[in-house]
Amino acid sequence: GDEKAVFEIPDHYYPDKYKQLTSTISNRFGGDAGRAIPVRNIALPNLALPMELPYNDQFSLFVPKHRVMAGKLIDIFMGMRDLEDLQSVCSFCQLRINPYMFNYCLSVAILHRPDCKGVNIPTFAETFPDKFMDPKVFRKAREVSNVVTSGNRMPVTIPVNYTANSSEPEQRVAYFREDIGINLHHWHWHLVYPFDSADRSIVNKDRRGELFYYMHQQIIARYNMERLCNGLQRVRRFMNFREPIDEGYFPKLDSQVASRAWPPRFAGTTIRDLDRPVDQIRADVSELETWRDRFVQAVESLTVTLPNNRQMPLDEERGIDILGNMMESSIISPNRGYYGDLHNMGHVFISYSHDPDHRHLEQFGVMGDSATAMRDPVFYRWHSYIDDLFQLYKYKLNPYTDDKLDFPGIRLSSISLEGPAGNNTVGTFWELSTVELGRGLDFTPRGSVLARFTHLQHQDFTYVLEVNNTSGQGVMGTVRIFMAPTVNEQGEPLGFDEQRRAMVELDKFTAGLRPGNNTIRHRSLDSSVTIPYERTFRDQSARPGDPGSSEAAEFDFCGCGWPHHMLIPKGTAQGYPVVLFAMISNWADDRVEQDLVGSCNDAASYCGIRDRRYPDRRAMGFPFDRPAPAQALSDFLRPNMAVNDVTIRFSDTTRPRQQRR
Ligand code: CUO
């Protein structure tokens, strides 16, 4: 049934300006109500701090003052005795607290309160679709919703390539940067791994610093492969903070809450010292340089200076995790006072570069918000640089020795790929999909509004591995599958070190190996990196968050995951050559003892598992996370590894999305 519930809010919960309107408001939302639910009248907490952010302003996790306000609100939500109190305080907050901040903090609380397992949060694209789409859609949608009754509405079409024309070379990869699913993944990731809260346990998750490094490293590897497919150079690091940023970006997004357009950044903009009293930000570019130098110093000496001046070694086990927390930085940085806030403040400097002293009364650009940052070419330049700093550390580690790489008794004789385009070929194309916008738009009448948009897609395929087990007994192995480009911009073969850094994880799963020959078949759809299309968008055909749905329980954590339609890069019309790599490692050395029952764990590679440890004991990115003395990938191979040449063939056609189940 579609019976709606309406909450009856105590009168004094309404802000003064709404008091006379109370009856109108309840009519508005209650007109077609099926049943009324009274909201418990509780002693209300002090919201003074979170209310300092004006209702119609933008909210950024990267802005320190916003972080503190959000931290307070999260604590309030986390501190509510039970669900009814939480609901009550939420209804009090809803008309007072900035909606972006409210949504973020409530989502964090729902993700982390034990009594909230099973509570549904509407997917972010539905709640704030304005962060993901061309505003023309909303104007059209408004027209549509005013003249056509819900149920008979035609989808509104979002144009392809609406932010620039082909004079801008960067536009060739706009389909990646502006992909709705990719941006939703990034928003979800930062929701699952917040960097600030008075409740340390929310931040201090197993290997979160390392995952910060690894997930973003993989974004860069994927983006670089996408660029090579499109005849672009790999990303140039943004490493000289005094140099102009060549790439401009004009987002063409409107904020529905702030009722204004997101500011652009012109080509050739240089970041400048910030002095924005309104955001309580005063920061000099030189601070970034100081923090950078201290980070490099820690890597060079393999020691971190703690607040009490003691030294802490960066050991092989925990080094990258500590550096991740230090770099981002999160509240579990070993010394925020000294190592500062390099990554986050980089976002802040770039996002205010168009108005560093607020003289034009402009808010931050897309780099200031984790829901929109990946749209901007500079995101990848910044994160390439961040990744380079992490790699400085990885270069300090000794190469893996045979006992870490080999799996005695196990020979992987081949890996290949079967699909409709033929063996070892993946077909890619454009797909036309439909997503629900209704919930995020304040239309009258309310109801379904569908938006139709185009995104990259690939044909489903199957990995086939031939494995010979001569150990004489059944064993368990971890299958690790990666893909990388084979040549550089000039068509020359990539050396081992460049290629290992370009490796994109496609899948990781365990397999039982009987004595003798084994054939392992594994579907691309079951990737440990991605979540299914239906989960990214929660489209009309599958609504895992519907009340009563068994899938509702883990929904928002499960919203984190690379969108499946972006598993494979676009390739080229002639066929883009890549190398497919597989390794079988000894599960006895990889396994993490824990119970995974009932947890959402199908996109663990980039997102981890809710309330669990990262489900692989090896370094993230293993075996390519550190250098090796190999000249070429072929020198690196062991009997338990195999490679194959694969072609990605792009067909410039647009096909309507078909249900796959
Ligand atoms: Cu995900 Cu810079 O951390 O955006």
Place 429 in a pLDDT band, splitting at 50, 70 and 90. very high
**Residue 84 C-alpha to ligand 1 middle, in angstroms?**
34
- Ligand 1 in contact with 373 (CB < 6 A)? yes
**Residues 609/554, Cβ–Cβ less than 8 Å:** no
Place 127 in a pLDDT band, splitting at 50, 70 and 90. low
Instruction: Tell me which CATH code domain 169-394 carries.
Output: 1.10.1280.10
pLDDT digits (tens, 9 = 90+) for 187-209: 889 988 888 777 788 888 899 99
pLDDT value for 523: 98
Q: Please tell me which residue, 446 or 135, carries the higher pLDDT value.
A: 135
**Residue 385 C-alpha to ligand 1 middle, in angstroms?**
12
pTM for this predicted structure: 0.89
Q: Where are the beta strands (DSSP E) in 197-310?
A: 254-255, 260-261, 274-276, 281-283, 303-305
**Residue 626 C-alpha to ligand 1 middle, in angstroms?**
22
Q: Which of 413, 399, 400 is nearest to 584 (CA)?
A: 413
pLDDT of 494 strictly over 90: yes
Peptide bond just before 623 cis, omega within 30 deg: yes
Q: Please tell me which residue, 300 or 553, carries the higher pLDDT value.
A: 300
Residue located via tokens 């086990």: 317
Q: Please tell me which residue, 320 or 4, carries the higher pLDDT value.
A: 320
pLDDT digits (tens, 9 = 90+) for 26-35: 444 444 445 5
Residue 186 Cα: closest atom of ligand 1: 1
Tell me the C-alpha distance between 178 and 184, whole Å.
10
Residue 328 Cα: closest atom of ligand 1: 3
Which of 370, 389, 607, when mutated, tests ligand 1's pocket best, judged by the most ligand atoms within 8 Å of its CB?
A: 370
Residue 343 Cα: closest atom of ligand 1: 2
**Residue 575 C-alpha to ligand 1 middle, in angstroms?**
32
Residue 344 Cα: closest atom of ligand 1: 2
**Residues 585/407, Cβ–Cβ less than 8 Å:** yes
Q: Name every residue whose Cβ is closer than 8 Å to that of residue 406 and which is 6 or more positions away in sequence.
A: 638, 639, 640
- Ligand 1 in contact with 329 (CB < 6 A)? no
Q: Which of 16, 170, 189, 12 is nearest to 88 (CA)?
A: 12
- Ligand 1 in contact with 186 (CB < 6 A)? yes
pLDDT value for 141: 65
Tell me the C-alpha distance between 625 and 608, whole Å.
18
Helix boundaries (H) for 533-586: 533-537, 555-558
pLDDT value for 25: 45
- Ligand 1 in contact with 370 (CB < 6 A)? yes
Tell me the C-alpha distance between 14 and 624, whole Å.
56
Residue 216 Cα: closest atom of ligand 1: 1
In the chain, pLDDT over 70 holds for what percent of residues? 83
**Residue 152 C-alpha to ligand 1 middle, in angstroms?**
40
pLDDT of 445 strictly over 50: no
CA separation, residue 384 to residues 170, 387, 388, 389 (Å): 16, 5, 6, 9
Tell me the C-alpha distance between 251 and 259, whole Å.
15
Residue 190 Cα: closest atom of ligand 1: 1
**268-281: average pLDDT:** 94
pLDDT value for 534: 76
Place 638 in a pLDDT band, splitting at 50, 70 and 90. very high
Instruction: Tell me which CATH code domain 5-128 carries.
Output: 1.20.1370.10
Instruction: Tell me which CATH code domain 402-439+451-656 carries.
Output: 2.60.40.1520
**Residue 187 C-alpha to ligand 1 middle, in angstroms?**
9
Q: How many CA atoms lie within 13 A of 64 on its CB side?
A: 17
- Ligand 1 in contact with 347 (CB < 6 A)? yes
pLDDT value for 90: 84
- Average confidence score pLDDT of the chain: 86
Q: In the structure encoding, which two tokens stand for residue 473, read together?
A: 């007994």
In the chain, pLDDT over 90 holds for what percent of residues? 60
**601-623: average pLDDT:** 92
Q: Please tell me which residue, 102 or 515, carries the higher pLDDT value.
A: 515
Q: Which of 494, 619, 510, 602 is nearest to 221 (CA)?
A: 494
Residue 215 Cα: closest atom of ligand 1: 1
Take atom 4 of ligand 1 and give the residue whose Cα is closest.
370
Instruction: Delimit the domains of the chain by residue range.
Output: 5-128, 169-394, 402-439+451-656
Report the run of H or E that residue 584 belongs to, with start and end. Answer: strand 576-586
**346-351: average pLDDT:** 97
Q: In the structure encoding, which two tokens stand for residue 194, read together?
A: 């917040």
Give the ipTM of the model, two decimals please.
0.99
Pairing of strands 576-586, 641-656: antiparallel
**Residues 628/549, Cβ–Cβ less than 8 Å:** no
pLDDT value for 151: 57
- Ligand 1 in contact with 343 (CB < 6 A)? yes
pLDDT of 550 strictly over 50: no
- Ligand 1 in contact with 564 (CB < 6 A)? no
**Residue 59 C-alpha to ligand 1 middle, in angstroms?**
15
pLDDT value for 330: 86
**Residue 223 C-alpha to ligand 1 middle, in angstroms?**
14
- Ligand 1 in contact with 177 (CB < 6 A)? no
pLDDT of 568 strictly over 50: yes
Q: How many CA atoms lie within 13 A of 485 on its CB side?
A: 29
pLDDT of 531 strictly over 70: yes
**Residue 170 C-alpha to ligand 1 middle, in angstroms?**
20
Q: Any idea which residues carry the catalytic annotation?
A: 328
